[in-house]
Amino acid sequence: MTQTISISEFKATCLKIIDQVKNTGISVIVTKRGKPYALVTRPPATENNGSWIGSFKDQIKITGDILEPVVDEKEWDVLK
């Protein structure tokens, strides 16, 4: 189900219309000179478990020793 409004009406009440789309889920087609100009709709639902912990699980691969210095200690200027 969609609702159609003119671009001038959208300009005058855009925040109200955006809230309406968010709350009802009904898309709004904005027209200019009677032709469709834009579509205001809710974004697709995202999968959110409420926590970022574990969100990168199986996304990162550790190669080598992560505690070992990248360069030899002899090359560190701070130790000189």
Domains annotated on the chain, with CATH: 1-42 (3.40.1620.10)
| 51 vs 2 pLDDT, higher one | 2
Q: Which residues pair with 31 in a beta bridge?
A: 6, 36
Confidence of residue 80 (pLDDT cuts 50, 70, 90): low
Residue 10 buriedness (CB in 10 A; 0-12 / 13-18 / 19+): buried
pLDDT at 1: 84
Cβ–Cβ < 8 Å for 29, 3 = yes
Task: Flag whether the pTM goes above 0.75.
Answer: no
Residue range 5-30: average pLDDT? Answer: 96
Q: State CA 2 to chain mean position distance.
A: 24
Task: Provide φ and ψ at 65, rounded to 5°.
Answer: -90, 115
Residue 50 predicted with pLDDT over 70: no
